[in-house]
């Protein structure tokens, strides 16, 4: 079984550098994929209240027979659950749907600036963490100034910031800010499928050179940068392929070529205007 590297968290402990994204994996089929992924060796599962699949993720975890404390479960507070009291209700509902008594990592899904509730939500997550219902707290899709706002209000930086990130969207300023403040960068959309990354000639050429696939190169690149990557697949072969990211070694020529694929910050979803519920 592939050994997945880990990254250290400012809150203490570690998390796997590679996990399963579950957006779109629902119902019995979703549960079966989660269970298969755990059997294959995945130990990080990324879900969210918004994905309407926490019940399926919980069922997949139980069906797998893998011990609860061997798996890092991430979920996210939905936009409609932001606010001092609503966040508490939202987290309790996530725990109930997952069928677990704690979640390893709970993130604020999007900052949603039009609501102005991100700081209150963050304060409640810190309370819930101190009560033991959530081991580690973080955010998703927060820009540097939005992260700074949370820190200014509470003195605590999120342990993780999950952002849209791949060789097609290298987000250099965002990841530098995260690193400067001890925040682990987690990459959603790490295969860059929205940006057509896997069809890029440069990536295909590097994959051919290493006798592997463009997806493996993209995921390996993320892990090499110190990010956590959470590719989603509903296909058994691709699930396993995405686990084999440590079997290759990119050289400096490969990395220089990959750097040319960055479409720039403007191509990423902008959390000042993009909001999700
Ligand atoms: N925080 C946020 O706002 C946010 C936003 C979006 C996503 N996410 C999280 O991040 C996870 C991953 O992001 P994502 O699902 O948007 O994108 P992704 O994982 O980068 O790409 C998924 C797509 O790539 C395909 N794929 C998977 N493995 C492949 C391989 N080895 N070769 C070729 N194609 C492959 C999948 O198809 P098949 O299923 O057919 O294999 C699917 O169409 C999500 O599932 C979710 O957990 C978070």
Which ranges in the chain belong to alpha helices (H)?
27-40, 54-64, 84-98, 118-131, 144-154, 172-180, 201-209, 214-224, 236-241, 252-259
What is the Å distance from ligand 1's center to 192 Cα? Answer: 8
- The verdict on residue 272 lying in a domain is no
Q: From 235, 197, 232, 201, select the one nearest 218 (Cα to Cα).
A: 197
Residue nearest atom 48 in ligand 1 by C-alpha distance:
188
Residue nearest atom 25 in ligand 1 by C-alpha distance:
233
Q: Is the pTM of this model over 0.85?
A: yes
User: Per residue of the chain (277 residues), what is the pLDDT tens digit?
Assistant: 678 999 999 989 999 999 999 999 999 999 999 999 999 999 999 999 999 999 999 999 999 999 999 999 999 999 999 999 999 999 999 999 999 999 999 999 999 999 999 999 999 999 999 999 999 999 999 999 999 999 999 999 999 999 999 999 999 999 999 999 999 999 999 999 999 999 999 999 999 999 999 999 999 999 999 999 999 999 999 999 999 888 899 999 999 999 999 999 999 999 999 999 9
CATH number, domain containing residue 118: 3.20.20.100
Which atom of ligand 1 is least distant from the CA of 232?
19
Is residue 166 within 8 A of residue 197, CB to CB? The reply is yes
140 lines ligand 1 (CB under 6 A): yes
What is the Å distance from ligand 1's center to 49 Cα? Answer: 17
Q: Which residue is it, tokens 């750097």?
A: 259
- The verdict on residue 274 lying in a domain is no
Is 102 in the active site? no
What is the Å distance from ligand 1's center to 255 Cα? Answer: 22
Its domain, for residue 250, covers 15-262
Q: In terms of DSSP bridges, do strands 14-16 and 103-108 run parallel, antiparallel, or are they unpaired?
A: unpaired
Residue nearest atom 47 in ligand 1 by C-alpha distance:
21
Residue nearest atom 37 in ligand 1 by C-alpha distance:
233
DSSP letter string, 110-174: ---TTT--HHHHHHHHHHHHHHTSEEEEEEES--HHHHHHHHHHHS---SEEEEE-BTTB--HHH
Say whether 72 sits in a helix, a strand or coil. Answer: strand
Residue from 42, 51, 102, 227 carrying the catalytic annotation: 51
- The verdict on residue 34 lying in a domain is yes
Which strand ranges, in their side-by-side order, compose the sheet holding 184-188? Answer: 20-21, 44-46, 72-77, 103-108, 134-140, 160-164, 184-188, 228-229
Domain count, the chain: 1
What is the Å distance from ligand 1's center to 171 Cα? Answer: 18
DSSP 265: G
pLDDT of residue 1: 66
- The verdict on residue 9 lying in a domain is no
112: left (phi over 0), alpha (psi -120 to 50) or beta: left
- Tokens encoding 258: 């990959």
- The verdict on residue 182 lying in a domain is yes
- Tokens encoding 47: 């879900």
pLDDT of residue 117: 98
Which atom of ligand 1 is least distant from the CA of 192?
20
- The verdict on residue 123 lying in a domain is yes
* Cα 81 to Cα 144: distance, rounded to the nearest angstrom: 23
């Amino acid at each position: 079984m592939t050994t997945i590297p880990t990254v250290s968290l400012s809150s203490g402990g570690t998390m796997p550098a590679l996990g399963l994204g579950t957006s779109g994996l629902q119902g019995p089929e979703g549960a079966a994929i989660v269970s298969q992924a755990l059997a294959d060796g995945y130990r990080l599962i990324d879900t969210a209240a918004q994905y309407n699949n926490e019940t399926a993720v919980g069922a997949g975890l139980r069906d797998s027979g893998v011990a609860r404390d061997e798996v890092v479960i991430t979920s996210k507070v939905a936009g409609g659950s932001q606010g001092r009291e609503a966040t508490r209700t939202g987290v309790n509902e996530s725990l109930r749907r997952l069928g677990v008594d704690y979640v390893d990592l709970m993130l604020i899904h999007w900052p949603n600036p039009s609501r102005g509730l991100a700081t209150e939500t963050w304060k409640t997550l810190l309370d819930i963490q101190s009560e033991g219902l959530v081991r580690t707290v973080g955010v998703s899709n927060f820009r540097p100034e939005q992260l700074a706002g949370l820190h200014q209000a509470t003195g605590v930086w999120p342990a993780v910031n999950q952002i849209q990130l791949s060789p097609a969207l290298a987000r250099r300023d965002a990841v530098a800010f995260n690193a400067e403040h001890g925040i682990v960068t987690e990459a959603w959309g790490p295969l860059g499928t929205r940006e057509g990354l896997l069809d890029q000639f440069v990536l295909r050429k590097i994959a051919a050179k290493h006798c592997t696939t463009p997806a493996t190169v993209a995921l390996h690149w993320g892990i090499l940068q110190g990010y956590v990557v959470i590719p989603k697949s509903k296909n058994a072969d691709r699930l396993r392929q995405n686990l084999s990211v440590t079997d290759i070694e990119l050289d400096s020529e490969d990395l220089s070529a990959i750097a040319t694929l960055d479409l720039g910050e403007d191509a990423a979803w902008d959390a000042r205007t993009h909001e999700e519920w």
